[in-house]
A and B are shown apart, each in its own frame.
Chain A
Amino acid sequence: MASNEQYRICPETGLKVFFTTEKLIKINAVVAVVFLAIGGLFGLLVALTRWPAVHILPPDLFYLALTAHGADVLVFWIIFFEIAILYFASSVLLNCRLAAPRWAWLAFVLMIVGALMANVAVLQGESSVMFTSYVPMKAAPHFYLGLILFAVGALIAVFVFFGTLVIAKQEKTYEGSVPLVTFGAIVAAIIAVYTIASGAIILVPTLLWSLGYIANIDSVTYKLVWWGFGHSSQQINVAAHVSIWYAIAALTVGAKPLSEKVSRGAFLLYILFLQLASAHHLLVEPGISSEWKVFNTSYALYLAVLGSMIHGMSVPGAIEAAQRRRGFTQGMFGWLRKAPWGNPAFSGMALSVVMFGFIGGISGVVLGTEQINLIMHNTLYVPGHFHATVVTGTTLAFMAVSYLVVPLIFQKEIMFPKLAQWQPYLFGIGALGISLFMMGAGTLGVSRRHWDMTFADATLSFDHPPAAFLMMGLNGIFAILATIGGIAFIVVIVGSVFFGKHRDEAACKANPVVYQGGGEAVASYGNEHELKLPGTVALVSVFFLAFVLYYFVNWKYLAEVWPLS
């Protein structure tokens, strides 16, 4: 196909951008943002319903909205965007044409048909089974079918990515090893393969069961395999957004990995151990041994956590090294003060790193501790934790990179730059509030996925403490703030993509979005004696201290609970 060979040279990075790739990146990214908008709206309705003073939806619509919220933002928004990232990390970064573009289009069609089918099933009201659809609760067959079609499409897209890597290697479009960002994308793609396989293994029989061909599916087995899909798919996000962190740091301040070996080693730990996280959802289930739980819930001695802690040092470390090389050497944190906080790509990335690590990461380890899970399982602590990982971590990182994708791939100027400047802070602080207040309410025992914390319609009565009501009110207020940040994002991005001024070569020269001094080495390799990064050492120390303290506080909470054995 001749058109597949045509490309332009990016005036800012010098990379070849093939037109087919560009089109596929654009369409996947645009559809992703549409699902973010829809899913975000459902999320707002959920938060407003859980605000006891507002309580906006009736119960059936609440459970419907919650199911749609989970599917649209946790799966469709994130995976569509990740497919765009995979095409970018292979075809663009390796200067290579995309493999099998027809298959890439087929993947896109399957994904969109599947996503729409699942949405229709949910909106028809017969599939309010939550995103997890635990058997023996049953959804309409086309709910499962939609998810399966989406997954098959995503799998095809992943293989287009692998195919592109093979072509790049054969045609020698790059020298030496693949870039770190591509490496991270490969890790995400490998995790995606076994994740999607787990999804197929469980959703295909569940579809047959909902059609009446299979009599019974064991509920514990379902959870074990389903979470091999559900939790691992969140690990695709981790690998993807960590790659995005490195990419944004490189593009905005010229940061270079401190050590390719360390960063790549950390990514490898993800491939090897993340799949064990299915156990996080089985810690209080019947019929599973403690030995199995302890080994799997800790990713075998916390080796995947080790991977994330390494990135938690190497990402800020790379930024500090780059900033110091630029001359911002004053004191411990001069480099941080002089960072481009007004650039939404940088600020979004920085907020994502900090909140993913401090809130999402630490709460995840605590929640996934076998015995501590007893005082948190299925409370609001759980969504509190994963909003910190998936919203302040993944979603914010993807929003941040959008501020580079629009000028570089769509070749449009960002509209409303002032609004864009504020957007990551609005959304980030909103999402931070959601996470913290849900974690707080969960600690006080408030259930997740529950329409009425006052139990007004129940035969018996129970009163949650007033502090729990306060938490849910604050959760609602911060959800509104996050929504404003989300709307600002949609307005800026959609506005720029469809109505923005075209960026020609002159515009790129006059107002570059890529850091232009990136040529010089920021930290040459093998120079262990020169690597003086006191700011990063301080940040990492504060993180470690917070981790240790919070970990023990929760053991203390557990020790106060009734003895169980």
Chain B
Amino acid sequence: MALTPPENRLWWKEPLAKMEITWISIAFVWGLFMFAVMIYWHINGEQNLSNEAYRVNPETYGEKVEAEAAKYTVREEGDTGIPVVHPPAGSDVYMLARLWEWWPILELEKGQTYRLHLSSMDWQHGFSLQPTNINIQVHPNYEMVLTLKPTETGDFGIVCNEFCGVGHHTMLGKMIVVDKK
């Protein structure tokens, strides 16, 4: 029994049954395979997260985002006062997270590749692009840069999916993807 000492005191010398060897081998090889798939995807897959990140002071980052927004603001979103920023296709684009908003609204062009910079001004936030369902953690003091290529047009929500205090559920941003001009 599993509740009593093994009857055979030399239990480690017992041979394995064929069924056991077969299953252990299958499970082991499957593990190696799954490990290899992650590496394969880095070589041939299109969805890999960037390793590019920099230490940044939140104030410095905030100033940079504001400067970029000032350069490329094309309009305000309805009567919300939030600027809609349309940076040049293929350029570096900036967004910040703070209690409780994603700022500004980015307008990107379909099929273009952008370098998206993300950082937080205060606590941790979760960048969750919906309904595409791309989810990235945003930390203060870290500026993450990822290369992103929108493949569909429309309005996308940016939900905050890292709990950030009592206003967390009001933290909703937007990204707009339009056809090439």
* A residues neighboring B (CB under 8 Å): 13, 59-60, 63, 93, 128-130, 134, 136-137, 174-181, 218-220, 246-247, 249-251, 254-262, 283-290, 294, 298, 301-303, 305-306, 309-310, 313-314, 317-318, 365, 369-371, 373-379, 443-445, 447-452, 455, 457-462, 464-465, 518, 521, 525-528, 531, 533, 536-537, 540, 544, 547-548, 551, 555, 558-559, 561-565
Contact = CB atoms under 8 A, between A and B. Distances in A.
A255 B2 CA distance: 8
A531 B53 contact: no
Interface string B99-140: 001000100000001000010001110101011111111111
B163 A449 contact: yes
**Residue picked from B23, B132, B133, most chain A C-beta under 10 Å:** B133
A526 B34 CA distance: 32
Interface stretch (B36-44, B61-69, B86-94): B36-44
Q: Chain B interface: which size bin? A: 35 or more
Contacts of A461: 157, 172
A254 to B, nearest CB: 7
A287 B28 contact: no
A246 B4 CA distance: 11
B142 A220 contact: yes
A449 B168 contact: yes
26 contacts: A60-B166, A63-B166, A137-B124, A179-B2, A180-B2, A220-B142, A250-B1, A254-B1, A257-B2, A286-B118, A286-B138, A286-B144, A294-B35, A302-B30, A314-B20, A371-B49, A377-B136, A378-B135, A444-B133, A447-B126, A447-B160, A455-B157, A462-B174, A525-B7, A528-B16, A537-B19
A460 B172 contact: yes
A451 B172 CA distance: 13
A256 B46 contact: no
Given A251-B3, A284-B135, A261 B11 contact: yes
Contact of B136 (A249, A284, A452, A547): A284
Interface in B1-56: 1-9, 11-12, 14-20, 23-24, 26-28, 30-32, 34-35, 37-39, 41-42, 45-51, 53
A561 B169 contact: no
A445 B15 CA distance: 49
Contacts of A551: 34
Given A374-B134, A451-B168, A457-B170, A181 B3 contact: yes
A296 B179 CA distance: 40
A526 B31 contact: no
Contact of B134 (A288, A309, A564): A564
A247 B14 CA distance: 22
Given A250-B2, A460-B174, A564-B47, A379 B128 contact: yes
A178 B5 contact: yes
Contact of A63 (B38, B48, B163): B163
B68 to A, nearest CB: 19
A303 to B, nearest CB: 7
Contacts of B105: 460
Contacts of B19: 313, 317, 531, 533, 536-537
Contacts, number: 311
B31 A528 contact: no
Contacts of B142: 219-220, 286-287
Given A375-B133, A378-B161, A565-B48, A259 B80 contact: no
A2 to B, nearest CB: 28
A95 to B, nearest CB: 10
B76 interface: no
Given A460-B172, A531-B17, A301 B50 contact: no
Contacts of B5: 174-179
A175 B6 CA distance: 9
A301 B31 contact: yes
Nearest to A174: B5
Given A128-B166, A562-B148, A261 B131 contact: no
B80 A459 contact: yes
A260 B11 contact: yes
A284 B49 contact: yes
B2 A559 contact: no
Nearest to A178: B5
Nearest to A218: B141
B171 A458 contact: yes
A559 B169 contact: no
A463 to B, nearest CB: 8
Contacts of A371: 38, 41, 45, 47-49
Contacts of A93: 3-4
A219 B140 contact: yes
B3 A369 contact: no
A54 B9 CA distance: 60
B150 interface: yes
A260 B6 contact: yes
Given A260-B6, A525-B8, 11 more contacts: A129-B163, A461-B157, A465-B131, A544-B26, A548-B30, A555-B37, A555-B41, A559-B46, A562-B152, A564-B134, A565-B46
Interface string B153-164: 000010111111
B80 A447 contact: no
A540 B41 contact: no
